[in-house]
Amino acid sequence: MFFKSFFDENLAQMSYMVGCQKTGEALIIDPARDLTPYFETAEKEGFTITKAAETHIHADFLSGARELANSGEVTLFLSNEGEEDWKYQYINELDHQLLKDKDHFYVGKVRLDVMHTPGHTPESISFVLTDEGGGSSVPMGIFTGDFVFVGDVGRPDLLEKAAGAAGTASTGAKQMFQSIEKFKELPDYVQVWPGHGAGSACGKSLGAVPVTTVGYEKENNWALQHDREDSFSEELLSGQPEPPKYFAMMKKLNKEGPALLDDTEVKSISISKVDEYSNDQTIIIDTRDAEAFSNGHLEGTINIPFNKSFANWAGWIAEYDEQIVLIAKTEEVSEVKKALQSIGLDQIIGYISATEVESQSGLETYPSITPKELEAKYRDHEDYIVVDVRNQTEWDEGHMEDVQHIMLGKLKDSLNEIPSDKTPIVHCHSGSRSAIAASVLQAYGYKDVINLEGGYSAWSEIKQPVQS
Span 76-129, pLDDT tens digits: 999 999 988 889 999 998 999 999 999 999 999 999 999 999 999 999 999 999
CB 180 within 8 A of CB 224: yes
**pLDDT band for position 468 (50/70/90)?**
low
Residue type, 242: E
Q: Is the dihedral of CA 389, 394, 400, 403 positive or negative?
A: positive
**pLDDT band for position 140 (50/70/90)?**
very high
By DSSP bridging, strand 75-79 and strand 48-53 are parallel
Please check the confidence at residue 454 and state whether its pLDDT lies above 90. Answer: yes
Q: Are 206 and 226 found together in one domain?
A: yes
Instruction: Identify any residues that bridge with 148 across adjacent strands, giving them in sequence order.
Output: 153
**Looking at the domain assignment, is residue 467 inside a domain?**
no
**Looking at the domain assignment, is residue 306 inside a domain?**
yes
Note the pLDDT of residue 359: 96
In the listed set 202, 226, 256, which residue is the last one of a domain according to the structure?
A: 256
Please check the confidence at residue 199 and state whether its pLDDT lies above 90. Answer: no
- pLDDT tens digits, one per residue of 376-411: 999 889 999 999 999 998 999 999 999 999 999 999
In the listed set 315, 335, 358, which residue is the last one of a domain according to the structure?
A: 358
**Looking at the domain assignment, is residue 108 inside a domain?**
yes
Q: Distance (Å, rounded) from C-alpha 314 to C-alpha 302? A: 10
Cα of first residue to Cα of last residue in the chain, in angstroms, is 53
Q: Are 184 and 42 found together in one domain?
A: yes
Residue 289 structural domain: 271-358
Is residue 312 classed exposed, middle or buried when 0-12, 13-18 and 19+ CB atoms within 10 A define those classes? buried
Q: Are 113 and 194 found together in one domain?
A: yes
Q: How many domains does the chain have?
A: 3
Question: CATH code at 400?
Answer: 3.40.250.10
Percent of the chain at pLDDT > 70 equals 99
Q: Are 321 and 415 found together in one domain?
A: no
How large is the greatest C-alpha to C-alpha distance in the chain, in angstroms? 75
**pLDDT band for position 205 (50/70/90)?**
confident
| CA-based radius of gyration for the chain | 24
Note the pLDDT of residue 445: 95
Note the pLDDT of residue 390: 97
Which range among 44-58, 83-97, 132-146 shows the weakest confidence by mean pLDDT?
A: 83-97
Q: Are 327 and 233 found together in one domain?
A: no
Please check the confidence at residue 207 and state whether its pLDDT lies above 90. Answer: no
Q: Are 239 and 298 found together in one domain?
A: no
Q: Are 240 and 130 found together in one domain?
A: yes
CB 145 within 8 A of CB 195: yes
Q: Are 104 and 32 found together in one domain?
A: yes
Residue type, 322: E
More confident call, 85 vs 211: 211
Angle between helices 432-443 and 310-317 (to 10 degrees): 30
Q: Distance (Å, rounded) from C-alpha 340 to C-alpha 327? A: 14
**Looking at the domain assignment, is residue 26 inside a domain?**
yes
Note the pLDDT of residue 167: 76
Q: Distance (Å, rounded) from C-alpha 180 to C-alpha 152? A: 11
Q: Are 251 and 285 found together in one domain?
A: no
Buried b / exposed e over 41-54, threshold 16 CB at 10 Å, is bbeeeebebbbbbb
Q: Are 351 and 386 found together in one domain?
A: no
Please check the confidence at residue 71 and state whether its pLDDT lies above 90. Answer: no
Mean pLDDT of the chain: 95
Q: Are 386 and 325 found together in one domain?
A: no
Buried b / exposed e over 234-257, threshold 16 CB at 10 Å, is eebbeebbbbbbbbbbbbebbbeb
Note the pLDDT of residue 243: 87
Residue 36: CA count within 13 A, CB half-sphere: 7
CB 425 within 8 A of CB 344: no
Q: Distance (Å, rounded) from C-alpha 279 to C-alpha 266? A: 20
Q: Where are the beta strands (DSSP E) in 159-250?
A: 191-194, 212-213
In the listed set 201, 232, 256, which residue is the last one of a domain according to the structure?
A: 256
Q: Distance (Å, rounded) from C-alpha 53 to C-alpha 18? A: 11
Is residue 64 classed exposed, middle or buried when 0-12, 13-18 and 19+ CB atoms within 10 A define those classes? buried
Please check the confidence at residue 163 and state whether its pLDDT lies above 70. Answer: no
Please check the confidence at residue 159 and state whether its pLDDT lies above 80. Answer: no
- CA nearest neighbour of 123 among 70, 151, 94, 163: 163
Q: Distance (Å, rounded) from C-alpha 206 to C-alpha 67? A: 29
- pLDDT tens digits, one per residue of 408-446: 999 999 999 999 999 999 999 999 999 999 999 999 999
Please check the confidence at residue 465 and state whether its pLDDT lies above 80. Answer: no
- pLDDT tens digits, one per residue of 320-334: 999 999 999 999 999
Q: Distance (Å, rounded) from C-alpha 133 to C-alpha 268? A: 52
**Looking at the domain assignment, is residue 176 inside a domain?**
yes
In the three-class reduction of DSSP (H, G, I as helix; E, B as strand; rest coil), residue 467 is classed as coil
The whole-number average pLDDT for the span 269-293 is 96
Is residue 185 classed exposed, middle or buried when 0-12, 13-18 and 19+ CB atoms within 10 A define those classes? exposed
Q: Distance (Å, rounded) from C-alpha 391 to C-alpha 405? A: 9
Residue type, 310: F
**pLDDT band for position 253 (50/70/90)?**
very high
Q: Are 406 and 327 found together in one domain?
A: no
